[in-house]
Structure 1
Amino acid sequence: MLFVLLVLAGPLAARAQGPLTAPLTATNSAQSFPLVHAHQAAPLCFDAQDAAVVRVAAEAFAGDVFRVTGLKPKLQTAAKVPAGVAVIIGTLGQSALIDKLVASGKLQTGQLRGQWESYSISVIEKPFPNVPRALVIAGSDRRGTAFGMFEVARRMGVSPWVWWADVAPAHHDALYVQPGQLVQGPPAVQYRGIFLNDEDWGLRPWAARHLDKDVQDIGPNTYAHIFELLLRLKANYIWPAMHPGTKAFYHYPADPVLADRYAIVVGGSHCEPMLRNNVFEWAENYEHEYGQKPGEWRYDLNGPQMYRYWEDRLKQSAQYESIYTVGMRGIHDGSMPGPPDRAAKVRLLDTVITDQRRLLSQYVKPIGGRPVPQIFCPYKEVLTLYQAGLKLPDDVTIVWADDNHGYIRQLSDKTEQQRSGGSGVYYHVSYWGAPQDYLWLSSISPALMSYELSKAYALGAKRLWVVNVGDIKPAELETQFALDLAWNVGRWTPATADAYAARWATETFGPRLAPAIARLKHEYYRLGHAAKPEHLSGVSFTAAEQNQRLADYQKIAAEAEALEKQVPASLRDAYFELILYPTQGARLMNEKVFYAARSLELAKKGDEKALTFAQKSRAAYDQIQALTRRYNDEIAGGKWAGMMSSHPRDQKIFEMPPVATAALVAEGKAASQAPGALSNSATEAAEVATATAPLLLPATAFTSKWAAPHETLAPLPGLGLEGQGLTRLPYDVPSFAADVAHAPYLEYRANLSAGPHSVAVRCLPTFGLYAGRGLHYAVSVNGGPPQTVDVNVPADSKQWKENVLRGFSQGQTTHEVAAAGPATIRLYLLDAGLVVNQIQVR
């Protein structure tokens, strides 16, 4: 079988394009490069003096060719390319082979030289004597070269998740590359990576059981697989795992050496200044390392000891490419100990940062004349200290954090956007904490990620993005989307991100199955937005809403089960991990919770059907356990044993809830037969009478709209409640909070009765763009005076907690309608960052 690996339209393809599946053809051409032909694989030639990651990626690439064809290319490091066709790999200025091609004029590198992490893939005729044709993969730097190799691997059908999710590539007997040159890069975001976090129930026990048995921890063998995954995803940055029970990254000497070999930049989380894991290295291991107990974790009381502690890490890390977190918080995820007065705390934090930067200037040599990369993450309470007047050095990158539920709390204002250090984002697709965890399944949609991260990018967050991915699994799609977006932020805009699942499914499972998988994922995200499976105990649904959710989940679960039969055997494990487990798990959690509650409601009425619903709830609970056992014990021959937990952090939502019993039903019957008790039918009629359904108007169901020429009112498919969002673009347009008459608006038509009507506007629970900006809208009915509402609420407030669990913020206004009949509802969008999902009229 013949397979064309790449169609490299020449002479130069567009820069900074995301990986796209190239067209296939069953025939070879006279000009194509035979990567694998006639049962022979072209050798991979690179300079032994090039960066270590070049060999790492070449070895992985040879393995990928073997995965696809059954033939493994030989690795050649001789200064002279052997006779015959060859793949030539190398980095500008570090590879003698590449530099010879540049000097001879065979390889054009104008778009590569001096660029960050860029690469060229080209077919070159007669590059050297006795070499008739070569596929040349050249990088502007060491990571660019590695990314170029993994780009070729993706185009021949090897998923980034080939190991981490068992996505087996299709077999092909031959691989050909068409002539031309492709240049990609530089990436949109300079540093792009992940945070391994909350690893207690998955990654750590699994690593201890499978990859790092000798240390019973997340060690070098596990990190080797993680670093390769990052390279395959064109990422370059990591915050290592750091929870209690996990030893520090630097505790194992092989870890930083390995990171450098894979060209991965190591950083530390918001509570790990100067690459120190305080949970282990201060609270647990300090006495072993220093022969004395640590003092109090307060810089105002114990500065010299802490200063030395940071200094010793810099002595170890100075030789590696790192990004240093400055500032400090508590030993773990808590506020910085210090004086109770906020102003004094700000002064102390300023002292901490000043001293840390003194250490950095002493031990870490800047590269290329640029300052040593440093970040400050105003996470949780640290944001209040920053807002209270902390003056950061201009070259420190501010890494803005989301609210842990996907909504970025604050971004750079006009002045902050001019800072030389720029800004970045710390974003969650997995979380342990208030108001409720979501560590089990990942349900943050690409549409939401694109809106928030693209907004951040538009306001200057271009230096660094780090995504909290928990245990990596089962957040594969969401992780890949965030990193694809970081590579090319324009490829998946908020208006197009809903289509990402179809592209991802095509790359992962092939074009035949992709449309059905994309539909499943669309519904999975839509339902999860209104209440994540882990958040059902914190969200109230009417009986009708429960029934609809159950029906919708059961529909996609049935479709997912039916589709599994069409999946090739080689991809069945991947399908279970990526599609079936989260779809079925979410469905079963909704059944367990809703059926249990229904059984108790019916038991109070003495209805025997209560026992049926109790049994359904128990069955759903049992199926979750069976599904999880299948994940751990059967999938990929037990490869993932210990990775998937059905009860992370042992939260109550994962337990079997109370359900009706025969005794409860008997009690209900007795109560319902007591003198004066309403019959079941009378009770149900009373409930229906008091539950008046509102008129629901999707935000996109407007009859007319108006906006100034410099902006648009843009529909955003897949974003927010019911997957229908609408917002003002571009992001930082002016506020009309004080000038409603000139604001952009949407108009809706509805038949209303005479009298007072309430209009509730449900919005994505975002925050104002930056300090001083709100999220105002205004409503006018039949030309009446507009009433203005601000749905911007403080993070960690009671209202915020309700909003993030139910997936919307809401304002409400009351309007008098003079006469029954058609009415016009005008909705003014007064602030940028406001996303409207639904209007409810009562």
Structure 2
Amino acid sequence: MRIHHLLYSVLALAALPVQGQAIKTNSDHQPKSSLHVIFQSSANAFPLVRKGLAAPICYDAKDAAVVGIAATALKSDIKLVTDIEPAVQTDAPAQEYMVIAGTIGQSAMIDQLIASNKLKAERVRGQWETFIIAVIDQPFPRVKQALVIAGSDRRGTAFGIFELSAMIGVSPFYWWADVRPEKKKELYLAPGTAIIGPPSVKYRGIFINDEKWGLVSWSNKNTKDGQNNLGPAVYGKVFELLLRLKANYCWPAMYYGTTAFYNTPANPKLANDYAIVIGSSHCEQMLRNNLFEWSVNFEKEYNEKRGPWRYDLNKDQIHRYWEDRVAQSRNYESTYMIGMRGVGDSEMPGPASREEKIKLWNSIVKDQRAMLEKYIQQPASQVPQTFCPYNEVLDMYRTGQLELPDDVTMVWVDDNHGYVRQLPVPEKQSRSGGHGMYYHFSYLGEPEAYIWLSSISPMLTAFEMKKSYDLGISQLWIVNVGDIKPAELETAFFMEMAWDIEKWTPENAHKYLRKWAAGIFGHALADEIAQIKAQYYELAASGKPDQLLNIPFRTDEADQRIGRYRSLAAKTIALGKKIPDRLQDAWFQLVQYPVLGASWMNQQTLYAARSLSLARQGDKHYAHYSKLAKAAHDSILTITVHYHKGIAGGKWDGMMNTTAKEITNRFFNYAAPVVGTDSLYRAVIAGRKITASKDMAAIPKPLLSIGAKDFFMKKEMNGYRLTNIRGLGITGNGLALLPFTAASVKGNTVEGASWVEYRGKVPPGNYTVRAKLLPTHALNAEHGLRYAISVNGSLPEFVNLDGQGEHWSQRWGNNVIQGFMSGTTRHYFHSSIPATIRIYLLDPGLVLNELTIEE
């Protein structure tokens, strides 16, 4: 007999009052209820595990599949912490203490508790992905106390169950990064009630991309999903991770050679069981993976010759190809990318003229919406659709001639390197389909890739994503995480922001590093770990470990950089000795490998460049630096072998695949370094002609450098804030003009502009003042990237950096690699007393990092 049948007839008994006040608690800065985990008995506390016994976990068999999945995971989590495994049941007699989980309207037990007024759910019912956790006394006859988790929908319930897992100490990355919780003998919930949700962003998820680098290589060795295929063995772990992070959305893997997600029928069914919404990337319309399903598998699937990928020439075949996927996916929660692009990441093929292409694109969208209505049997306006004006299609969109229905979610993009390219103007922010953002923690492409070590800081993510949210991006957030590893920290931060936009802001994002460290490694070492991560991100801001080849560091800069990395590596190794044994594998994955890898890659690249430069100058010291570069390369290989073979019993063998030649030969610096050689040196000595090289030592050093935070005075005007943001940019501090929603100063005037003053002493003379700013893009067409500068009260000179952000330009490429854009003005410094340099910031979103005075 099901428990709700057993108890139904006696629900008229009066309920004891719920302990604690119901409050929204989805943010650390909001007031908390008394509901929390304790590890010893306390008055009226709910005994989750006591005296070797665990309270059973009960849910309704008619509830969504994800509720049972989450309940089973909670069972395993409790055992992981206490070595005691609770029962999970749908049919059982009442017991003294019970965990009851269910979805409002889907669980008879939850609905009975609400009907009897024992569970107050007014603020939960009807919300998106919201849940309540409450300790309730005498919820049913013969039940003394229950821990109740009730969700507004199926994901809300799952999130609530996994919230309990997090409360008892189980990290979302317990499997993905081998974070082992501290053992506890007993677990209790102090009485109270917490309501969490709804989220700030409706759809929140990840894009698995360029996965042949690691995830597919790993899967081929360690799962039975099939060669070059990611199937249920991988996606089961992916979807569980998403639920633990309160995420709900996924663009599946789609790199060259990877079998398409839908080609394994168990995959979409599994996503539905886990309540994960499946979408597809900007270049994959209607849930089709063109790189595999069109280019490789079409003739096998349809038993006919494939025609050209041109809708104007091959409409019937392409239409059927899309229509079949809509029919296959109609019973699953999905979003459909509409429109058309080339196979892969390229322009839509079709007529030669832009006007005819736009006309064709508009007809394609009408056909796609008709097939959605046909198979899903709802108006197209009710079916979630997305459109991403990525790169080439953006030019068509900017003509204003694309007939994009208002109910389609407009998915904007960053520039692939963490800087948001464009956001909607105010009159476009209120479209019924809303707006989304496609962001990157990993990228394979020009000007240089970065898919080895994850180094986009939470501070930059907070700045760019809060900017996006404030300008209307709240329907969908999707982030390219590459292989998921090693972007664990960054992904967790992104999802926390998406869940509660007020929890982490640009101003406080630097505090996340300590919160993250304490949650995994404990409070005692959290400050030191946070400092290590902060230095890691700061160094990467001026040159990602993957992108050092084309950054012209001076010799003194290179030496200083290597010295800082060596010091950071030494601190990391020393601190690692204090990490508990249960967390050593997690420590190596999350902290030590990234720090040591970055340190040695900097040594490899910078020493190799110096070796070449010296050899070309006929300096025999080239050989010393050649040896250092090669030794650093060998060290990277050594720690990678340890990652594969030496931690977690070899669990991650293949994940850090630095020998993926089809990738490394395109963009990377992971092969053995190119260094000065004896033959090159001898040729120079013999007077032979050698290809000229740029000597790093020849780059002039500034006379003076001033960090943005080291201002003498500032004045904030018209509601603007000049805010120092820790951890943002090349100096570790960025002075930002906020809020993002403020209007720009109009025209070439500083009237009403906020300003900041610096003082610096140089000998009298004419000098260049270089302002280095975060290489952001103008918010939208209504703004620029302008500043004005005055020295010793001179008339302000105006600089607009907006043109530097032109995508794919060489200047843009240089900016994103070196981590700053710069403007220069020429000034006369007329005396030997300290000069006053005033900078006016004229557009919101500008971030000043440093001023330099140069000859």
The verdict on a shared fold, with TM-score over 0.5 as the criterion, is yes
Find the counterpart in structure 1 of residue 242 from structure 2: 230
Match for residue 715 of structure 1 among 718, 724, 727? 724
**Within 5 A, what are the aligned runs for 1:400-799?**
400-604=412-616, 607-648=619-660, 649-651=663-665, 652-662=668-678, 664=680, 691-738=700-747, 739-792=749-802, 793=804, 794-799=806-811
Deviations 1:462-504 (CA, angstroms, capped at 9, x unpaired): 0000000000011111111111110111111001111111111
1:319–1:692 Cα change, 3 Å: closer
Deviations 1:356-383 (CA, angstroms, capped at 9, x unpaired): 111112212449x971111101111111
Comparing 348-357 with 94-103, greater Cα deviation is found at 348-357
Structure 1: gaps (5+ residues): 1-7, 673-683
Q: Distance in 1 between matches of 2:811 and 2:659?
A: 27
Find the counterpart in structure 2 of residue 680 from structure 1: none
* Secondary structure of 1:815's aligned partner: strand
Deviations 1:118-154 (CA, angstroms, capped at 9, x unpaired): 1111100000111100100110100000000111111
Q: Distance in 2 between matches of 1:413 and 1:705?
A: 29
* Secondary structure of 2:313's aligned partner: helix
Find the counterpart in structure 2 of residue 380 from structure 1: 391
1:464–1:796 Cα change, 3 Å: same
> Partner amino acid for 1:561?
I
Q: Do 1:439 and 1:470's aligned partners in 2 also have CA atoms closer than 8 Å?
A: yes
Deviations 1:183-221 (CA, angstroms, capped at 9, x unpaired): 100000000000010011211121122223445511112
Structure-2-length-normalised TM-score: 0.93
Q: Do 1:760 and 1:812's aligned partners in 2 also have CA atoms closer than 8 Å?
A: yes
Report the alpha carbon displacement of residue 658 of structure 1 after superposing the two structures with TM.
2.6
Q: Distance in 2 between matches of 1:596 and 1:14?
A: 56
1:670–1:312 Cα change, 3 Å: closer
Q: Do 2:132 and 2:196's aligned partners in 1 also have CA atoms closer than 8 Å?
A: yes
* Secondary structure of 2:40's aligned partner: coil
Structure-1-length-normalised TM-score: 0.94
1:33 aligned onto 2:33 = no
Q: Do 2:132 and 2:149's aligned partners in 1 also have CA atoms closer than 8 Å?
A: yes
* Secondary structure of 1:513's aligned partner: helix
Comparing 382-391 with 84-93, greater Cα deviation is found at 382-391
Percent of residue pairs bearing the same amino acid type: 48
Q: Distance in 1 between matches of 2:227 and 2:583?
A: 32
Q: Distance in 2 between matches of 1:767 and 1:539?
A: 21
* Secondary structure of 1:352's aligned partner: helix
Comparing 501-510 with 444-453, greater Cα deviation is found at 501-510
Find the counterpart in structure 2 of residue 58 from structure 1: 71
Q: Distance in 2 between matches of 1:342 and 1:439?
A: 35
Q: Distance in 2 between matches of 1:264 and 1:694?
A: 56
Match for residue 106 of structure 1 among 91, 111, 118? 118
Q: Distance in 2 between matches of 1:801 and 1:478?
A: 23
Comparing 11-20 with 417-426, greater Cα deviation is found at 11-20
Find the counterpart in structure 2 of residue 675 from structure 1: none
> Partner amino acid for 1:654?
Y
1:836 aligned onto 2:845 = no
Q: Distance in 2 between matches of 1:694 and 1:449?
A: 33
* Secondary structure of 2:523's aligned partner: coil
Find the counterpart in structure 1 of residue 27 from structure 2: 17
Q: Do 1:81 and 1:128's aligned partners in 2 also have CA atoms closer than 8 Å?
A: no
Q: Distance in 2 between matches of 1:173 and 1:444?
A: 39
Q: Do 1:275 and 1:325's aligned partners in 2 also have CA atoms closer than 8 Å?
A: yes
Q: Do 2:19 and 2:136's aligned partners in 1 also have CA atoms closer than 8 Å?
A: no
1:647–1:788 Cα change, 3 Å: farther
> Partner amino acid for 1:566?
K
Q: Distance in 2 between matches of 1:334 and 1:125?
A: 61
> Partner amino acid for 1:68?
V
> Partner amino acid for 2:50?
H
**Within 5 A, what are the aligned runs for 1:304-453?**
304-366=316-378, 371-389=382-400, 390-453=402-465
Q: Do 1:338 and 1:345's aligned partners in 2 also have CA atoms closer than 8 Å?
A: yes
Q: Do 1:774 and 1:790's aligned partners in 2 also have CA atoms closer than 8 Å?
A: yes
Comparing 260-269 with 626-635, greater Cα deviation is found at 626-635
Report the alpha carbon displacement of residue 641 of structure 1 after superposing the two structures with TM.
1.1
Deviations 1:516-564 (CA, angstroms, capped at 9, x unpaired): 1111110111111101111111211001110111011111111111111
Q: Distance in 1 between matches of 2:37 and 2:126?
A: 34
Q: Distance in 2 between matches of 1:211 and 1:19?
A: 42
Q: Do 1:705 and 1:747's aligned partners in 2 also have CA atoms closer than 8 Å?
A: yes
Q: Do 1:365 and 1:372's aligned partners in 2 also have CA atoms closer than 8 Å?
A: no
Match for residue 156 of structure 1 among 158, 165, 168? 168
Q: Distance in 2 between matches of 1:536 and 1:824?
A: 35
Q: Distance in 1 between matches of 2:132 and 2:544?
A: 42
1:173 aligned onto 2:212 = no
Find the counterpart in structure 1 of residue 8 from structure 2: none
Q: Distance in 2 between matches of 1:248 and 1:24?
A: 43
Aligned residue pair count:
822
* Secondary structure of 2:139's aligned partner: strand
Q: Distance in 2 between matches of 1:521 and 1:586?
A: 12
Q: Distance in 2 between matches of 1:661 and 1:215?
A: 41
Report the alpha carbon displacement of residue 740 of structure 1 after superposing the two structures with TM.
1.8
Q: Distance in 2 between matches of 1:611 and 1:691?
A: 26
Q: Do 1:81 and 1:131's aligned partners in 2 also have CA atoms closer than 8 Å?
A: no
Report the alpha carbon displacement of residue 691 of structure 1 after superposing the two structures with TM.
3.4
Find the counterpart in structure 2 of residue 124 from structure 1: 136
